[in-house]
Amino acid sequence: MTTKPRQKTAPKRPISITAVVDCVGMLAARSTSGHLYLYDTNKAGGSVGFGTEELKTKVRTGDQLLWNVLALECEAFVAIDDIVIDPEVCEPVRKVFPGTDVAYWTGTVKKDGLSAVPYQIKFRLGTQAEPITTTLSPALVG
C-alpha cells in the first residue's frame, strides 16, 4: 500500500502592522497627512512603503494580521478606533490585552492573489470626539 506524500503548505505568518502617530501634529492638522508612519514585519516577504501612509503589506490567505499603534510623544493618547476594509478580504476585530485597557486589532486574510486592497485606519486622539481617518490608503497586496 502506497500513500501519497503530504503537500507541505507554507505556515501561516503573523504579520504585525504598527502605526506610529505624531499626535500633536495630527491633532493640529486634523489630518494624518505627514503625521503617520506605517511599518509591518513582512519586509522580507515583499511589503513596501515603510514609514509612509501608503504601506503595502504583502499577504496570502490565512495570514494573521495584528494592527497596533504607538504615539510618537510619550504622554499622548492614541488608539485605533476602526479599520475599514473589504470584509471579503479581512474582517478586523478589536481586542484588548488581558488585565489592561490597551487595545489592538486582529484579522485573518481570506483571499490569495490580491491586487492592492486599500483600507483606512481611524484614530482616536487625546480627548478629540471624532476619529481622524487616514488621508492616503495603506493596502494589502497578494
Instruction: Return the pLDDT at 78.
Output: 95
Instruction: Return the pLDDT at 2.
Output: 56
Task: Report the CATH number at residue 88.
Answer: 2.60.40.3910
Classify 56 as helix, strand or coil: strand
Q: Look-up: residue for cell 476619529?
A: 131
Owning domain of residue 127: 14-141
Per-residue model confidence as pLDDT tens for the chain (142 residues): 555 555 545 556 799 999 999 999 999 999 999 999 999 999 999 999 999 999 999 999 999 999 999 999 988 999 999 999 999 999 999 999 999 988 999 999 999 878 899 999 999 999 889 999 998 999 999 9
In a domain, 7, yes or no: no
- As for how many domains the chain has, the answer is 1
In a domain, 1, yes or no: no
